[in-house]
Amino acid sequence: PTPGAGRPPPAPPVGPALGQFGANIAFFVKEYNALTAARAGEVIPVIVHVFSDRSFTLELKTPPTAELLHKAVGASKGSGKAGKEIIGTVDIDKLREIAEIKLPDLNVKDIDRAMKMVHGTAVASGVEVEGYDAWLKTALPRPASILERYGPGIERLPAPWGPAPPLDGEAAPEEATEGAPPAEAPVEA
């Protein structure tokens, strides 16, 4: 469910979603209000973990990215015609601020990639980001290859693609095996 902070109604979608698992809706409302009292007026998604004894725990998430963007530009909703109709403009610093808020819920760990994700939502909502193109040229340089992006994995590639020993078991030079993980001993059956 995604109720507003400090005021989750026991009406749909919250009531039926909890009722089907036998959770006490009144306790949910009371606990949710207590957890979100300081954030009144925000939309706070929550994951409810209902256990077999009908008790539950609440896991609060960060507000939706679109809500944060709409609040930043002072709009109540996004553009119905993304790319054609602009509802507002934010600068790159505001984009970074929103990305920092959303970072715990995203599947990336660095702020630059989080900013790219938030920018995607901004484009879809009709929010223009000033300075994004200039920032993008310096923030995330395009790697020459996938191996450059993900680190020194090339050291573990077998010959002829990398410096590690060939797949057929031939001996390799000593300097090629220094960075490679130790080989496993054969197992006797």
Which pTM was predicted? 0.66
Instruction: Decide if pLDDT at 115 tops 90.
Output: yes
Query: What six digits make up the tokens of 64?
Result: 């939706």
pLDDT, position 78? 82
**Residues 146-162: pLDDT tens digits?**
666 555 666 666 677 77
Q: What percent of the chain has pLDDT over 70?
A: 75
Q: 6: alpha, beta or left, given left = phi > 0 and alpha = psi -120 to 50?
A: left
> Could you read off the pLDDT of 46-75 as tens digits, one per residue?
888 888 888 888 899 999 999 999 999 998
Do the beta carbons of residue 83 and residue 120 sit within 8 Å? no
Confidence at 184, pLDDT banded by 50, 70, 90: low
The answer, yes or no, to whether residue 40 has pLDDT greater than 60, is yes
Rounded CA gap, 3 and 59, in Å?
Answer: 13
* Ranges assigned E (strand) in the chain: 46-50, 56-60, 88-91, 127-130
Sort 141 into a burial class: Cβ within 10 Å, 0-12 / 13-18 / 19+: exposed
